[in-house]
Homo-oligomer: A and B are copies of this chain.
Amino acid sequence: MALEQPEGGVGTSARILDTAERLVQVRGFNAFSYADIAQELGVTKASLHYHYPSKAVLGQELIGRYAARFGAALAEVDARLSDPRAKLDAFTGLYADVLRDQRMCLCGMLAAEYQTLPKTMQTAVVCFFNHCETWLQGVLREGQERGTLLLRASTADTAQMIVGTLEGAMLIARSYGDINRFQAAATQLLTSLTSDAPTPAP
């Protein structure tokens, strides 16, 4: 690896992905162009096409890298924490980190543009959500067994609800430019899964 990048830098291909990723997360896949990336990196559009022949290919690689990184983050959470509640909290933290620099979750953004995406990208987006939900189901199941989590539905339905809630909270918090909106939603979500006694009516 180090031999392939003697400068200690990050290869052009990766720098292209870095820029494209941010542009998709901020503006959307349909609202950025090769020209945007080229200008930012100080190269030409033709050079970009050498690394990623078409925008569809670029988008595909984008999702692939993002999913791999997210999967690694989940594995790291598993290695670091054992309490299911703590894992859920860490999960929402991953989303908060993305939102902190004005970005939407890559696949949340692509979900909005879903109907306009190439088939391969559509499949990859759904695959990402499936991966998230599978991980969540494991956490929920263990929390249920330990008795530290109280679910109102099946682990599958609850996992789906969690992903949707976090994606939606990000979506709207970004419009308000207020990360607290996301945090408030995440807190309520965790509370609803760990406590069965909300503020009672007097």
Contact = CB atoms under 8 A, between A and B. Distances in A.
A160 B172 contact: yes
B187 A153 contact: yes
A137 interface: no
Interface stretch (A43-51, A73-81, A143-151): A143-151
Given A129-B175, A174-B114, A185-B165, A191 B160 contact: no
B116 A112 contact: no
Question: Interface size class for chain A?
Answer: 35 or more
A125 interface: yes
Contacts of A122: 175
Contact of A171 (B26, B151, B164): B164
B165 A164 contact: yes
Given A126-B175, A165-B164, A172-B160, A27 B188 contact: no
B157 A188 contact: yes
A171 B129 CA distance: 12
Nearest to A176: B126
Nearest to A147: B201
Interface stretch (A7-15, A57-65, A82-90, A103-111): A103-111
Contact of A116 (B31, B161, B165, B173): B31
A129 B172 contact: yes
Interface string A160-196: 1101111111111111100001001101110110011
Given A153-B184, A168-B171, A171-B171, A113 B31 contact: yes
22 contacts: A27-B113, A27-B116, A28-B30, A30-B30, A30-B31, A108-B168, A112-B112, A112-B171, A114-B174, A129-B172, A151-B198, A152-B198, A160-B172, A160-B181, A163-B168, A163-B172, A164-B171, A165-B165, A167-B172, A168-B169, A168-B170, A196-B196
